[in-house]
Amino acid sequence: MFAKRQSALAAAAGLPPEDRSRVSLDSLVAVLKKPPVAVGAAGVFVLAAGALFVAVMGDPRAGAPSARVALERPAAAADPAPTGADAFSMSGLDLYQDMAGVDPSLLDPNGAAGGEALITLPDGASVAGGSAIAAPVRAPSNPLPKAPIAGLFSPGPNGPLPRIAPDGRVPAQAYARPFRANGKPMVSLIVGGLGLNAVTTRAAIERLPAEVTLSFVPYAEGLQAWIDMARAQGHEVMIELPMEPTGYPENDPGPYTLLSSGGADDVEAKLDWLLGRATGYFGVTNYLGDRFAASDEGMGAMLAVLRQRGVAFLDDGSMRRKPGAFARASADRIIDETQSPAAIMGQLNALEAAAKTRGAAMGTGFSYPVTVEAAARWTAGLDARGLQLAPASAMTRRPGR
């Protein structure tokens, strides 16, 4: 082995040096001739050419318009904490609030939301089943004096309390809307639940005739301001007294609910708070209260306080057999237990028929937008149909009379 290697070195000793660059180039050409390598090299060449073009000429899309948008998901709004108003009427309150706030521009000239049915009234007006109130704003009609009226209140632990004045004037008469019968059958309407929703409260005050009596929730924020606004528009007003219903406390009208088991002292203490929430009301009405009405002690204590303070008591028809207070009245029907234009119009038509039969009739309803809208349209044609719209105070009677 050693001898053969020596012979090869000796044979090459006399040859000129080999050109190494030539050997490397030949080797490279040989490699590139292989098909897989040739395809890969072509791809690299194209990419390199493109990069060189961009580097020399710049971005070919640099002159084209462009925009950059930052997309962020908004955080979910936290639900507001419940207030005293929430406790007053959890049943029906969701519907009441959901029906408010619809864009009036979505209404057609007749007041109907897109795609909703219209109910035609006897005078040709229409009522929509939507959630907006399209009845026109009314000018104030004989504004009532600003409350309180001197002599008709006394200081209380939670605010001024109504009282009979030394000269014999009573809140049930002094704060009522003046009324003179014209001989036609009379119909009265009370719209309640006001103060919980600013939109529908303002609509009821401004769009219903002054003869419609308005009833306010005692837990409402800014209660006195709402009552002042209503009286300035000509409406007489009432305060709603939460009373124990069947199913209490699961069905709870709020912290100052009059309880059948509370006794006279508890009823009087809660009435001091409820009646002291505002001033300027001629009477009060019940909110719920079928269980409380069954308590002779509780009802007797409440009516005694109202009688001593000269305040009227009007109920929704569920307490008709309970006499007392300075003046009393009971509604003949609730007009909106079913919140649809057709159902409400049916109840209002029945109220008209009762008034024509008996000479007078009174209805009550909640301030759902559909109720306010229907009532505004319905009352506009009463005179032409031979009826007189009267404030609810005109329906009250003194005990024993």
Between 400 and 387, residue with greater pLDDT: 387
Tokens linked to 43: 């791809």
The predicted model gives 215-231 an average pLDDT of 98
Any bridge partners for residue 312, and if so which? 283
- The pLDDT value recorded for residue 1 is 40
Judging by DSSP bridges, how do beta strands 360-366 and 186-194 pair with one another?
Answer: parallel
Q: Is 313 helix (H, G, I), strand (E, B) or coil?
A: strand
Across 184-332, the runs of DSSP E, i.e. the strands, are 186-194, 213-216, 237-243, 283-288, 312-315, 328-330
Of the chain, the percentage scoring pLDDT greater than 90 comes to 63
Mean pLDDT is lowest, of 78-87, 247-256, 274-283, for 78-87
Q: What is the pLDDT of residues 14-64, one digit of tens each?
A: 444 445 444 455 554 554 556 655 556 566 565 655 555 545 455 545 444
The pLDDT confidence band at residue 359, using thresholds 50, 70 and 90, is very high
The predicted model gives 363-376 an average pLDDT of 97
| pLDDT mean across residues, the chain | 79
CATH code, residues 162-395 = 3.20.20.370
Between 392 and 62, residue with greater pLDDT: 392
- The pLDDT value recorded for residue 162 is 98
Distance (Å) of CA 259 to CA 209, 243, 256: 35, 7, 9
Q: What is the pLDDT of residues 88-139, one digit of tens each?
A: 433 333 333 333 333 333 333 333 333 343 444 444 444 444 557 889 999 9
Between 190 and 3, residue with greater pLDDT: 190
- Is the pLDDT at 177 greater than 90, yes or no? yes
- The pLDDT value recorded for residue 398 is 77
* Cβ neighbours of 262 (radius 10 Å): 19
